[in-house]
């Protein structure tokens, strides 16, 4: 059974297939999820992920059921395994946003239904699909393009780096000391096929000549107690006009959102002509639809099957 816990759960050709499915019309995709439910469980807040996943399920003919994490209570009300086994009888797939990535791994290890990561402490692979879709729309192909990540090498960054490596892009990380990728992580991303990967502790150096400049919040959900220290440590990593000036002339700015204007990015940049954040957010739905259609394909889920 195929799950989607990380971007690298897709091989290079499969990522291309997801991108193809993301751009296909409903007439081509059909209704593979007709008569099926898809469970969407959220231990943390969400706007884009919930809305885009619900609509993607609907567009494939299925019925999404949103559930708050505390309602099911992973390992509190009942075990992760019991919750998964029961829901697998109602749904074609289960998607979850969790604090602890190992919860997703436990769900997937049962191999009852495909499990989808809607963000964990480790990764945010659905976001990376939308990011790649958006950059492909801009550049045609990511091969040989330079993608800069400024800020925290966090869940979003890790998934983006995996996706950019599969696409053959150059990756430039600009992170404060202590918040970057380890040497092992740099080697892992390189081995996935990145044209190159380098890391510095300078935002402008990372952005130098980049075709796309990405950032994210400095304080992720669950890290609120570290806010004061993080805001101090990331003070020099705001994406502003100076950082964007170091990038290629027609460089685009991207952010998974939600954003904090005046913290990780200035209003001038995120609301300026280089910004693609709205398109990027809208692409969450198209990318999610492509991924769900792909999981139906590879797991032989087709309209009319009974469980």
Query: Among this protein's residues, is 296 annotated catalytic?
Result: no
Count of positions on this chain that bind ligand CP (CB under 6 A): 8
Longest dimension (CA), the chain: 57
Three-class secondary structure of residue 219 per DSSP: coil
Minimum distance, C-beta of residue 64 to ligand NVA, in the bound complex (Å): 19
CB 59 within 8 A of CB 51: no
Phi-psi group of 146: left, alpha or beta (phi > 0 → left; psi -120 to 50 → alpha; rest → beta): beta
The β-bridge partners of 188 are none
Q: How far apart are CA 97 and CA 84, in angstroms?
A: 14
Residue 19: asked if its preceding bond is cis (omega within 30°), the reply is no
CB 104 within 8 A of CB 76: no
- Running DSSP on this structure, what letter comes out for residue 118? S
Q: Residue 73 has which token pair?
A: 């209570």
Query: Among this protein's residues, is 127 annotated catalytic?
Result: yes
Query: Can residue 248 be called a binding residue for ligand NVA (CB under 6 A)?
Result: no
Q: Residue 295 has which token pair?
A: 């999981």
The partner in contact with residue 154, picked from ligand CP, ligand NVA, none with C-beta cut-offs of 5 to 8 angstroms by kind, is ligand NVA
Q: How far apart are CA 145 and CA 277, in angstroms?
A: 19
Radius of gyration over every alpha carbon of the chain, rounded to an integer in angstroms: 19
Query: Among this protein's residues, is 255 annotated catalytic?
Result: no
Residue closer to ligand NVA, measured from CB, 112 or 216: 216
- Running DSSP on this structure, what letter comes out for residue 275? B
Query: Among this protein's residues, is 164 annotated catalytic?
Result: no
Query: Among this protein's residues, is 131 annotated catalytic?
Result: no
Minimum distance, C-beta of residue 8 to ligand CP, in the bound complex (Å): 19
The partner in contact with residue 47, picked from ligand NVA, ligand CP, none with C-beta cut-offs of 5 to 8 angstroms by kind, is ligand CP
Query: Can residue 110 be called a binding residue for ligand NVA (CB under 6 A)?
Result: no
Residue closer to ligand CP, measured from CB, 24 or 47: 47
Query: Can residue 257 be called a binding residue for ligand CP (CB under 6 A)?
Result: yes
Minimum distance, C-beta of residue 148 to ligand NVA, in the bound complex (Å): 17
Q: How far apart are CA 20 and CA 122, in angstroms?
A: 27
The partner in contact with residue 216, picked from ligand CP, ligand NVA, none with C-beta cut-offs of 5 to 8 angstroms by kind, is ligand NVA
What backbone phi and psi angles, to 5 degrees, belong to 84?
A: -65, -45
Q: How far apart are CA 150 and CA 142, in angstroms?
A: 18
Name the one range near ligand NVA by CB under 6 A: 103-111, 152-160, 167-175, 293-301: 152-160
Query: Among this protein's residues, is 124 annotated catalytic?
Result: yes
Residue closer to ligand CP, measured from CB, 55 or 257: 257
Footprint of ligand CP on 105-124 (CB under 6 A): 119
Query: Can residue 127 be called a binding residue for ligand CP (CB under 6 A)?
Result: yes
Q: Pattern 18-57, binding to ligand CP, x per CB under 6 A? A: ----------------------------xxxx--------
User: Active-site positions?
Assistant: 97, 124, 127, 216, 256, 284
Tell me which residues touch ligand CP (CB under 6 A): 46-49, 119, 127, 256-257
């Amino acid at each position: 059974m195929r799950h989607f816990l990380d971007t690298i759960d897709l091989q290079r050709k499969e990522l291309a297939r997801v991108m193809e499915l993301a751009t296909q019309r409903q007439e081509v995709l059909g209704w593979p999820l007709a008569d099926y439910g898809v469970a969407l469980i959220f231990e943390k807040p969400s706007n884009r992920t919930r809305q885009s996943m619900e609509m993607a399920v609907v567009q494939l003919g299925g019925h999404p059921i949103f559930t708050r994490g505390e309602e099911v209570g992973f390992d509190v009300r009942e075990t992760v395994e019991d919750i998964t086994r029961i829901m697998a009888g109602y749904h074609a797939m289960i998607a979850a946003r969790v604090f602890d990535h190992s919860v997703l791994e436990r769900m997937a290890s049962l191999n009852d239904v495909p499990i989808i990561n809607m963000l964990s402490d480790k990764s945010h692979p659905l976001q990376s699909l939308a990011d790649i879709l958006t950059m492909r729309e801009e550049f045609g192909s990511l091969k040989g393009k330079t993608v800069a990540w400024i800020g925290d090498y966090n869940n979003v960054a890790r998934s983006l780096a995996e996706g950019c490596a599969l696409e053959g892009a150059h990756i430039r990380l600009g992170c404060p000391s202590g918040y970057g990728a380890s040497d092992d992580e740099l080697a892992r991303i390189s081995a996935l096929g990145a044209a190159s990967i380098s890391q510095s502790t300078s935002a402008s150096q990372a952005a130098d000549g980049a075709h796309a400049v990405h950032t994210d919040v400095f304080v992720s959900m669950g890290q609120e107690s570290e806010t004061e220290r993080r805001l101090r440590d990331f003070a020099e990593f705001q994406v502003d006009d100076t950082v964007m000036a170091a990038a290629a002339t027609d460089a685009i700015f991207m952010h998974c959102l939600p954003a904090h204007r005046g913290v990780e990015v200035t209003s001038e940049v995120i609301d300026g002509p280089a910004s693609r954040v709205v398109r990027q957010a809208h692409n969450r739905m198209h990318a999610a639809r492509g991924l769900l259609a792909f999981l139906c394909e590879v797991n032989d889920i087709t309209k009319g099957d009974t469980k």
